[in-house]
Amino acid sequence: MNSLPPLERQWVLLRTLSARRFRATVKELAEDLGTSLKTIRCDLDLLKGLGFPISPHGGAHGRNHWVAEFDSSAPPLTFDVSEVLALYLGRTLLEPLTGTLIWESHHSAFHKIKATLKEPVIDYLGQLQGLVFRTTFRNSVYQNKSEIIDSLMIGIEERRITFLTYHSARSTEPLTYDVYPYGLVFHRGSLYLVAHSQQHDQIRTFKLDRVEDVQLETLKFQKPPDFDLQTYLQHSLGVFHVEGEPQRVVVRFSQEVARYVTEHRWHDRQSLTQQSDGTLLVEFSLTSLEELKSWVLSFGSQALVEEPEQLREQIQEELEQMVTAYQLTNANFTSACQTRNANHPQSH
């Protein structure tokens, strides 16, 4: 474990102290984590200085024994059934982090809460569990990327220069990028890394599914003090950002889907206006139109772009290409069927 990055090592250190019933010396902790006495002392001083409830106690031969202890005067944490249920259902939001230290700690905490409940409550939760099911439609699976997620989180937290091996959808082989990781975004069942790419000299978005390897450097980078993920994506309808002035986008939805559209929040700054004819006008202020185009197309003939004209033309071109593709497919399919029937008249 001597190769553990600082943030992960400190997380494991806290978990070790919390799990031990008896106190541990610096030497014991260093042996457990496979690192030096000096490193453990620095970690303990840092964690104690941050306010974590760990403290040294004098032991034999002048050796301090460290222990994690909570304030006994503080009221104990208690949860009613509705709160436990909310925590349980909320576990699904962390499923993309399955296999990481964060998921393991959350999983452990939930089992401790569950252990304090009486049997009737546990049975009740078991019954409710079957009432809510989360589909796997368009969900990414990250069980095999736990080390990559851990490393990226450390790189983001400690602002460490990172080498990212990435296989984009357009490239035939993976490439390695020198990036400054700024943060992770969870969007439509997948995780995305927002990072400054040195090769592109701009901030780029990398889908975590396509990250094949992460190597953290000891060198640090300076993150812009005013950078904020929410602000960065405020004029995007997803995770892709385009520089430039935002433009007004207006989409009219038919009466048939108007209610469905109003039932969801598509953007923090959306504007929805019900029309007298039953249609619905939805307005955005966006710089990137690519994700918006896919969203509008998903409604088929029930959505019509009114502004900007550029987007109307793009969607019209896309629809013409779809019609052409379907016509070619049908023609090929018909020809293949005719050939098959001529060669095998008895087949069905």
Query: Can you give the pLDDT at residue 59?
Result: 58
Core vs surface per residue 313-334: b (16+ CB within 10 A) or e? ebbeeeeeeeeeeeeeeeeeee
pLDDT per 10-residue tile (average), the chain, 348 residues: 65 74 77 85 83 72 67 60 65 64 69 72 63 68 80 87 92 93 88 93 93 92 89 90 90 95 91 94 92 92 94 92 79 58 48
Query: Can you give the pLDDT at residue 1?
Result: 45
Query: Can you give the pLDDT at residue 144?
Result: 80
Residue 201 region by backbone torsions, left for phi larger than 0, else alpha for psi between -120 and 50, else beta: left
Query: Can you give the pLDDT at residue 298?
Result: 93
Query: Can you give the pLDDT at residue 249?
Result: 95
Q: Please give the share of the chain, as a percent, with pLDDT higher than 70.
A: 74
- Angle formed at CA 153 by CA 152 and CA 156, multiple of 5 degrees: 85
Query: Can you give the pLDDT at residue 346?
Result: 43
**Model confidence over 269-315: pLDDT tens digits?**
899 999 999 999 999 999 988 889 999 999 999 999 999 999 999 99
Query: Can you give the pLDDT at residue 311?
Result: 92
